[in-house]
Structure 1
Amino acid sequence: MTVLLDLADIQGGILRAYGRQGFPKARYVFFTVRDAAKGRAFVEALRPTITTAARWKNPDRGEALLRTRNPRVKDVVRAEGVPDYPGEVQLMKPKVAINIAFTFYGLVALQVPTRTLRNMPDEFIDGMEQRAALLGDDPFLGRRDAIWRNSHGENRVHIMVSLNAEMLPDGTPIPELAEETGKLQALCDASEGGVVLLTGHGPDDLPWQDMSAILREDDGQLWPTNKEHFQLSDGFGDPVFEGQLSGEAERLRAVGGGKILPDRSWAPLATGEFLLGYPDEAQEIPGAAMPIEFSRNGTFMAYRKLHENVEGFERYIEEMGARYAATFGVPQAEAEETVKAKMVGRWSDGVPLMAAPTFQDWQAFNADLAAAHAAADKPKLAQIALKFTDFQYRPDPAGAVCPVTSHLRRANPRDMLDPHFTLPESAGWDGSALVNRRRILRRGLPYGPYDNAPAGSEQGIIFLAICSSLFRQFEFVQQQWMQYGLDFNAGSDTCPIVGNHLDADAKLVITTDPATGRKPFICGALPQLVEPRGGDYFFVPSMTALRMIGMGIVDPT
């Protein structure tokens, strides 16, 4: 059955990756609640400003962006944005998208009833700090930003408000970002100490966390890119689930973003993997906090601030590139690009190794892409675009093309963990059945200077993982796939990019084609490339639940 979502009840940041939809600037602001009634008033004052997942009109075309999702209604929603039918909402795209989320102790501080809170999952109640051993964060607890080190007592983080903003031509945020920040401060002032804005971000203890897409100049204008500080392209493999898109868009995006069926075709994942109140991949609706209306259309989110050791990464790639070049007799530049691609699973511009196994294949791939652009060949461009996501690992069981412990293959093993992966006949294949319950929606943006940044700069990624079960999805991937290698027959080897490399024997094995007789190439002594700077677990409520919280009318009976 087609899943029809109540988009006006779902917060927009769940379904939308704002950074890829015209909001390359962002600011996350955190608050603590010291008076429950004033905290609820703060939430209720913010509620009308929250951006939902309701469809946006496209003002550039002067027409509705999308038709109604209700199959019984054939009319286009009127261009002025007034709903023609109940539930058929369409809004103008905002200049700043605003969303809100709460830690468990934030819900406690706002006096959400105990009967509701006790049905929250254990990992959400514990919070990220208490789960540090499971996540592999233990060695870095002392390096967290002050806001997370001090998140106890009257300084505990309770509320997170995200502001995602458009950009001016000079690369700075639009003035509305500062205006919305000022409104948040004004609400705090009006609460007379009932709600307090928490400071402590970065080495300068800033009052909020700023972020920005990495920009590039083209024809005298700045444009946002999908790069992060290691200069690797990201954002290709986000999951696609039922109801998130419609029609042809769902069919196309599910290729590479959905689940692999036994016949090797693609389908969107179950909605319940990412939104509470819907069937998941087990065809179950998991138990949730009562009343059902409090949980339905909400979800959970892991906020992670991840520092990137850019100098260490560049130095290591240069050193390993020199060794690789000497071993295989290739130019240094080719060797460095190859080592990076083998660590990540994609070339630096995002082309997957499964689509372009060698450096020469990659060059040919980009030549075809450039030719298709020059000819404005839309069918060819569409065909090439699918190659960024439409691949499986069955043709590469040994990892000779894409190493089995590369970051990409760990984060989403696709069909690789099929118990019948090596069977030559398709009759017994299970596709990606064992992986479908481990997928997460990834959100966030880079932070810190990126252009001529001084040595030792604090820079990295704000990473948001959105899923229905933090334990089954986010924590499993982080613990079992990123910080461990047994599922990939790699012992205790961790992810070469985000894994812990505190031991001198941390390594990545780059397997070669067995037919060549060449020995594998070992990237040894991996440095620590990514360090957590703090974070926590949040509940992202529906608009219905947000009204309940703000008005103090949560009734678990």
Structure 2
Amino acid sequence: MTASGTALPPTLLDLADIQGGILRTYGGGFPKGRNFFLTIRDERKGRAFVEALRPRITTAARWKDPEREEPLVRTRNPRVKDIVRAEGVPDYPGRVQLYKPKVTINIGFTFYGLIALGVPNRTLRGMPDEFIDGMEMRAALLGDDPFLDRRDAVWRDSRGDRRVHVLLTLYAQMNPDGTACPELDQVTAEIERLCEQSGGGVVLLDGVGPDKARWQDLSAVLREDNGRYWPTNKEHFALSDGFGDPVFSGQFSGEAERLRVAGGGKIMPDQSWAPLATGEFLLGYPDEAQEVPGAAMPIAFSRNGTFMAYRKLHEDVRVFHDYIDDQAKRYSRMFQVPHEEAVDTVKAKIVGRWEDGVPLMVAPTYAEWQRFREELAQARAAKDKPKLAQIALKFTNFVYASDPSGSVCPMTSHLRRANPRDALGPTFDKETGRSLDGSAIVNRRRILRRGLPYGQFDRTAPREEGEHGIIFMAVCSSLFRQFEFVQQQWMQYGLDFNTGSDTCPVIGNHPERDDPKFVIPVDPELGKAPFICDRMPQLVEPRGGDYFFIPSMTALRMIGTGIIDPT
């Protein structure tokens, strides 16, 4: 929509030219994963590796249910009559539909990886500065510098002939016993074979994790039911994740967009929701400023591509639960509530949602949360689909206008920092407290969140030395304006939220010398002082990562064939 509320025509995307990991989260249908890091030591053999893998890359083309009798591939192009093999889909123009794969494959390159593959200087010089620098060079800006020595070896040693050039991400379907489908090992063997056939031109790097593993295994946190395992949206802190991903024009079809845009898009002056501009997440399209930013030439090399910040985040699970329990004891005494209620409340205030994902703005108190859960349980038992749809919308469709002080959802909770929604809007209606024009500041800071947890946590273990956390991947058109801004200004500072230097309670840095704290405001009508979570420990540590360019299928063909004309 325009500022006047007039509907704009939908953006039509060439889904077969876009890598699938950009538009899809993968997590629900592909709860198992594996990431590979490679280095290119021979330009010609590196291009041959890319060209050999290119037909297997998963695109954003629509999938069909394999149980139905439908063609493997369809297209809206009337000139094409034949059904083509799935391997040929990436080269085929138009919106296509194909069967859901057992394993998805996507690929990205660091700046030095593009150099190693012989991408021309005229193309490379159009890349943004932050991508050229790489994540390690931006460590101070991101707040990563205290943890550089704790990175996995694959990142600490990313120099010379061990520099990370290529990232391969695999997501796989799961067997009923909780193991990955056998196709994941088959694709892994294929990647190893391609590396061996390169004769040292392409090398699979080890040093992933403390045991020098050759790849990063991923898995959704599972729940067991009568011997059968099911993926959940939990992470190792036992908090629900994956709500409120941005919705942009062209990402979903009409009805799906209408259902998802509330809470996922941008707030318009009439308080309706509209999809964000495509250019915020895909190169070659207008962004929220109605501009098509400059990009690497030729245009076809950049268009339908994007950038990704890849981060391995270790979660200190034992410290998290011990700290919450300690703070809950104080909270229980101060507000005269049971310890269990205090534990859940402190966690919710820190995160911005209750542990099952219900936003504080929807259920501000523990009692209201319990009523919400009961309402949801009754709707599920009755299989009341309209009611379930109405309830599901509440997980994302909310704003902060009615809570300017943060007494319901603290201003510096993780959720409110990551997406302030209307809280930073420049103008408000004095009577209703609603933003009159949404928040352009926030609209230009959104990121697509991808990734899965890694490792398992044994709560009986005597020490917190395990290998577990989240692989976090932030997808956006501008690493500087979107990912880096959020990480530096909203996660590592509190100035925009009037809390000085207080950092994010979940992923922020908490050095002891700064006496880190988190303030839980209280409704002034209660006549009580705010509750202060003091001496906050370090809960999350980065264990490595880098910036990657995720090219379109067209650009992959250019890279693999070595034919890029930047003029």
Correspondence 1:240 to 2:250:
no
Contact 1:64 1:79 in 2 (8 A): no
What is the CA-CA distance between 1:450 and the residue it aligns to? 3.4
AA aligned to 2:543 is: R
Q: Find the counterpart in structure 1 of residue 394 from structure 2.
A: 387
Distance in 1 of aligned mates of 2:274 and 2:11: 13
Q: Find the counterpart in structure 2 of residue 275 from structure 1.
A: 282
CA-to-partner distance for each residue in 1:47-66, whole Å, 9 max, x for gaps? 01000000111113445899
Q: Find the counterpart in structure 1 of residue 367 from structure 2.
A: 360
What is the CA-CA distance between 1:513 and the residue it aligns to? 0.7
Q: Find the counterpart in structure 2 of residue 500 from structure 1.
A: 509
SS state of the match for residue 56, structure 1?
strand
Query: 208, 212, 217: which is aligned to 1:205?
Result: 212
What TM-score results when the alignment is normalised by the length of structure 1?
0.96
AA aligned to 1:9 is: D
Contact 2:152 2:207 in 1 (8 A): yes
Shift of the 67–383 alpha-carbon distance from structure 1 to 2, 3 Å rule, reads farther
Contact 2:206 2:212 in 1 (8 A): yes
Distance in 1 of aligned mates of 2:486 and 2:179: 35
Distance in 2 of aligned mates of 1:88 and 1:341: 42
What is the CA-CA distance between 1:67 and the residue it aligns to? 9.3
AA aligned to 1:41 is: A
What is the CA-CA distance between 1:216 and the residue it aligns to? 0.2
CA-to-partner distance for each residue in 1:491-524, whole Å, 9 max, x for gaps? 0000000000013511111001112221100011
Query: 179, 185, 189: which is aligned to 1:178?
Result: 185
AA aligned to 2:15 is: L
Distance in 1 of aligned mates of 2:53 and 2:103: 14
Q: Find the counterpart in structure 1 of residue 553 from structure 2.
A: 543
Correspondence 1:42 to 2:49:
yes
Q: Find the counterpart in structure 2 of residue 17 from structure 1.
A: 25
Correspondence 1:465 to 2:491:
no
Contact 2:72 2:83 in 1 (8 A): no
Correspondence 1:369 to 2:379:
no
Shift of the 152–512 alpha-carbon distance from structure 1 to 2, 3 Å rule, reads same
SS state of the match for residue 417, structure 1?
coil
What is the CA-CA distance between 1:324 and the residue it aligns to? 0.3
Distance in 2 of aligned mates of 1:64 and 1:373: 35
Distance in 1 of aligned mates of 2:557 and 2:72: 28
Correspondence 1:513 to 2:513:
no
CA-to-partner distance for each residue in 1:381-411, whole Å, 9 max, x for gaps? 1110000000000011100100000000000
Distance in 1 of aligned mates of 2:189 and 2:132: 31
Q: Find the counterpart in structure 2 of residue 162 from structure 1.
A: 169
AA aligned to 2:229 is: L
SS state of the match for residue 123, structure 2?
helix
Contact 1:77 1:88 in 2 (8 A): no
Shift of the 428–136 alpha-carbon distance from structure 1 to 2, 3 Å rule, reads closer
Contact 1:10 1:298 in 2 (8 A): yes
AA aligned to 1:439 is: R
Correspondence 1:523 to 2:533:
yes
CA-to-partner distance for each residue in 1:335-375, whole Å, 9 max, x for gaps? 00000000000000000000100000000000000111111
User: Within 5 Å, which residues of 2 pair with 1:74-473?
Assistant: 87-421=94-428, 423-424=430-431, 429-450=436-457, 452=459, 454=461, 455-456=463-464, 457-473=466-482
Shift of the 484–47 alpha-carbon distance from structure 1 to 2, 3 Å rule, reads same
Contact 2:73 2:85 in 1 (8 A): no
What is the CA-CA distance between 1:246 and the residue it aligns to? 1.0
SS state of the match for residue 549, structure 2?
strand
Distance in 2 of aligned mates of 1:149 and 1:179: 29
Distance in 2 of aligned mates of 1:66 and 1:481: 44
SS state of the match for residue 18, structure 1?
coil
AA aligned to 1:315 is: D
Distance in 1 of aligned mates of 2:199 and 2:556: 22
Shift of the 78–373 alpha-carbon distance from structure 1 to 2, 3 Å rule, reads farther
Distance in 1 of aligned mates of 2:437 and 2:217: 43
- Unaligned segments of structure 2, at least 5 residues: 1-8
Shift of the 418–56 alpha-carbon distance from structure 1 to 2, 3 Å rule, reads same
Contact 1:303 1:537 in 2 (8 A): yes
SS state of the match for residue 440, structure 2?
coil
Distance in 2 of aligned mates of 1:190 and 1:47: 16
- Unaligned segments of structure 1, at least 5 residues: none
What is the CA-CA distance between 1:171 and the residue it aligns to? 0.6
AA aligned to 1:424 is: E
Contact 2:73 2:96 in 1 (8 A): no
AA aligned to 2:386 is: P
Shift of the 402–427 alpha-carbon distance from structure 1 to 2, 3 Å rule, reads closer
Correspondence 1:54 to 2:68:
no
Shift of the 78–47 alpha-carbon distance from structure 1 to 2, 3 Å rule, reads closer
What is the CA-CA distance between 1:452 and the residue it aligns to? 4.9
Contact 2:73 2:98 in 1 (8 A): no
Contact 1:77 1:90 in 2 (8 A): no
Shift of the 126–80 alpha-carbon distance from structure 1 to 2, 3 Å rule, reads closer
AA aligned to 1:276 is: L
Contact 2:20 2:60 in 1 (8 A): yes
Contact 1:63 1:79 in 2 (8 A): no
Distance in 1 of aligned mates of 2:467 and 2:427: 45
SS state of the match for residue 354, structure 1?
coil
AA aligned to 2:225 is: D
Distance in 2 of aligned mates of 1:269 and 1:211: 30
What is the CA-CA distance between 1:2 and the residue it aligns to? 1.4
What TM-score results when the alignment is normalised by the length of structure 2?
0.94
Contact 1:25 1:165 in 2 (8 A): yes
Shift of the 67–485 alpha-carbon distance from structure 1 to 2, 3 Å rule, reads farther
Distance in 1 of aligned mates of 2:243 and 2:187: 31
Contact 2:361 2:398 in 1 (8 A): yes
Contact 2:422 2:435 in 1 (8 A): no
Shift of the 264–367 alpha-carbon distance from structure 1 to 2, 3 Å rule, reads same
Contact 2:402 2:434 in 1 (8 A): no
AA aligned to 1:142 is: D
What is the CA-CA distance between 1:426 and the residue it aligns to? 7.7
Contact 2:318 2:459 in 1 (8 A): no
Distance in 1 of aligned mates of 2:322 and 2:22: 37
Contact 2:402 2:433 in 1 (8 A): no
What is the CA-CA distance between 1:256 and the residue it aligns to? 0.6
Moved over 4 A (4+): 63-68, 76-83, 425-428
Aligned length: 552
Distance in 2 of aligned mates of 1:526 and 1:33: 43
SS state of the match for residue 300, structure 1?
strand
What percentage of aligned pairs have identical amino acids?
70
AA aligned to 1:240 is: V
Query: 3, 6, 16: which is aligned to 2:11?
Result: 3
Contact 1:55 1:66 in 2 (8 A): no
Distance in 2 of aligned mates of 1:403 and 1:469: 28
Contact 2:32 2:173 in 1 (8 A): yes
